[in-house]
Chains A and B, each alone.
Chain A
């Protein structure tokens, strides 16, 4: 395995300066970076910038009407976090499906976001919750909505010298979030389809508002199914709604055949799981 030189700054400002000076590949938990390095997948980076010591990028906090996650927040921390369990249980559910204990102890939310895999399991949840990704550099910080963060196959809106510093998830009253991952096996599996659905409704008899449908592994990047969202907006979770929504979403996405699954399967399952989620919400 090629081992590129690595620097480990102690402060965020030192990290920004290094990034401004030369092309570094950030490394947080390393659970994606090291797989690529040891497998010889893709051109190895010239230099690595270790973010692990930057305590400024750690921690989960409640800030008014938002939950804030430092970029270095691990899945184990998300699973252990009481605020997160109370206020955003679907996020905890999603974190619990990532790899297994070792990966959850080491893998970070910032890494999942910046890695920009179409199969990154946290990403549909970020899309469905209107998360904001805060990027930082020597020039300061800027906020990027999740919906415009992943721009193409493994492409992000980050500039070369920017890193993810934190993630802000607005907490909305009466919002429901559902998560479902379909993998090849029950643990340690990369998704064939991953779905996060959210809506706002104060009572079962009230129509859905602010519907968001985040999808992974069905396109070259994590996407929102906006046409299906628009259809669901203002509707009740009835059998008719579920039927039409599942047909809509299957038509809206353009998945591919790859080593993990088939386009037909992904299309069918996205529709069926959406149907199932609406049905469970409607309790019929």
Chain B
């Protein structure tokens, strides 16, 4: 049952600001979020809020070494094991494999431990005290093996790509200016507000139902079927209210659901597995660290003539989604700039560290950081404004990307750039900061105060939807049903995790059917009820699934209006009475004219791209290297705005996550173990660290989607970090090549610059 407090008691929904044009394709409006009142009043039920009488508590026994031979799981004979259940790999009925791209990751380790905090065994007990006691009596017998931590020293490659166009060698040889750089970015933790959580409940038919915090119900469904040998119906996945995901609940819930389900089978009771923050940070996926080496060539007349890029991503111990993360990183590595000669070689390699996975941006923030650093450094070398240089180089309609994709439509790099530049008065501020820098240098110290102000710019592109032929392979389905009792219900596997799916889909349906939004229901994300609409990832939900929902509505409307001869809104209730339920299943059809060859990496890598620009202003404390990001102007092209308040929320949240990535977020490792695996040591920005964020929503619609929308979630993550690092450079004169641009790195860079200028 959903609880809907009377909306009349809450202030009226936000009215639109006048600057937002109505698109004609979809009318933007900003109704309250569907699940908002329940979240605000504390009645929303997250996984840990769900009560299952008689449920036991489950826990994972994890490795404490980065690499070792596993000789045995030893249960202390002095402990009474009849009061608890223990599960090892031997108890898995089907494949001991977490379903993903490669069949390499076990649900529970056998023979070899490949990373710290790897699951080896499971224990469940009726209460927490007994569980703690039991866990203390399990020991792992191991003998150490030589681990690999340096990705450059790893010989195990999970995936590699090679994109080539033109002749890079020749172009670099003939270039008037060649700028080289090596950039290193580290892990980033998603830090959703709700930790990973799953409850498995045995079903009467021998199957299992899992309730959890997750992004992709059908990923979990597939994993359960395969390893527990269940039929479609026996495996049931139900999304509970989910407190954020950012990619961190894309693949990880599969292994957690398997753990909970294995324990539930073993004790024939519901089993709760609710991670605490420490376990969540220590064991679950992070953004891939990457090393990007870049050589750019510029001709005597200032054209970008060559880009030679090498990318190494650290996948961690198992493949997970690394091939597709790497693929997106590779395809975006050139940045949004036309260049005739490009070579991008990339590989994702294994190390003995916890596996990395999806995180907002999915490989692109890593490589676009490098791309933007290059452009900003080239601008400095040419002594031209970074804004002016981008004006010359950015993609315009008709340009061709390194995969041979011709950008026919929906190209808004220029608009995003110009609008951000105008709103931030980029050139004016830059002139001021340059003058301040010069006077500081001429006076030989920070005589004008110890704070130095700087402004920095970045531009990015982000492919909308799955990469290459991914959307075709997904075969997504979205349904809209007019029920026998005259209700309109949206049936999709797409999940709400705070980003707004539950609000924008009813908006789209209301508009397509001509009915009030409150008359549109949203079926629960339960695999026994809704179809597989593909995963809720890759900024694809509004564009791809939203498009299918509109398609289903159009067909439903036609069927009803054909039967009734009257407008849908006036006739659908009577139609339901007369004809019973009508359900339309809309299947994904490839976007016309979009074609990609996965083997040669030629063609249309994405049906369309979103475009983003960010301009950051910072104050750097020259005594301590501390950075305060004062403001970010973010212009993001979303195709079409459906809900401006939610869209701005995505930009603000993504920008703040990018500011954290740029300045303070860092995982330190020792012997393959994360040292800062608690909130006391893994720090993200607080409200006091948040800049003033001004969002500009740019609209360059995509004709393949009936509503023109392209998705927005990931765009701001691509531009924030390079903009902030450029601003730090503007303030201090030093380039920080590695993220985060921490005070330690800034002071060290300033010290070595000063030593050089004296020496």
Contact = CB atoms under 8 A, between A and B. Distances in A.
Given A184-B683, A189-B683, A39 B278 contact: yes
Contact of A269 (B624, B628, B681, B683): B624
A182 B626 contact: yes
B408 interface: no
A277 to B, nearest CB: 10
Given A182-B624, A186-B628, A259-B676, A265 B744 contact: yes
Nearest to B446: A276
B450 interface: yes
A261 B675 contact: no
Contacts, number: 57
Contacts of B681: 259-260
Contacts of B743: 182, 265, 269
B623 interface: yes
A276 to B, nearest CB: 5
Contacts of A269: 623-625, 743, 747
Interface string A99-116: 010000000000000000
Interface in B680-699: 680-681, 683, 685-689
Contacts of B747: 265, 268-269
Contacts of B683: 184-185, 188-189
Nearest to B674: A259
B664 A276 contact: no
Nearest to B688: A186
Interface residues of B, number: 27
A63 interface: no
Interface string B274-291: 001010000000000000
A35 B744 contact: no
Contacts of A47: none
A252 interface: no
A190 B681 CA distance: 8
A276 B624 CA distance: 10
Nearest to A261: B744
Q: How large is the interface on A (under 10, 10 to 19, 20 to 34, 35 or more residues)?
A: 20 to 34
Contacts of A264: 744, 748
Q: Is the interface of B mostly helix, strand, loop or mixed?
A: loop
B377 interface: no
Interface string B717-749: 000000000000000000000000001100110
A256 interface: no
A189 B624 CA distance: 15
Given A189-B683, A272-B624, A184 B664 contact: yes
B145 interface: no
Given A39-B278, A259-B668, A261-B744, A185 B680 contact: no
B668 A272 contact: no
B678 interface: yes
Interface string A183-211: 01111111000000000000000000000
Contacts of A265: 625, 743-744, 747-748
A190 B689 contact: no
A260 B686 CA distance: 17
Nearest to B664: A184
Contacts of A2: 132
16 contacts: A38-B276, A182-B626, A184-B664, A185-B664, A185-B685, A185-B688, A186-B686, A187-B688, A188-B686, A261-B744, A265-B744, A265-B747, A269-B624, A269-B625, A273-B623, A276-B623
Instruction: Kindly list the 10 A-B residue pairs having the minimum CB-CB distance in the complex, ordered from nearest.
Output: A186-B688, A272-B623, A265-B744, A187-B688, A259-B675, A184-B683, A187-B686, A185-B689, A259-B676, A186-B689
Interface of A: 2, 35, 38-39, 100, 182, 184-190, 259-262, 264-265, 268-269, 272-273, 275-276
Interface of B: 132, 276, 278, 450, 623-626, 628, 664, 668, 675-676, 678, 680-681, 683, 685-689, 743-744, 747-748, 751
Given A182-B626, A184-B664, 13 more contacts: A184-B683, A185-B689, A186-B628, A186-B688, A188-B686, A190-B680, A259-B668, A261-B744, A265-B625, A265-B743, A265-B744, A269-B624, A272-B624
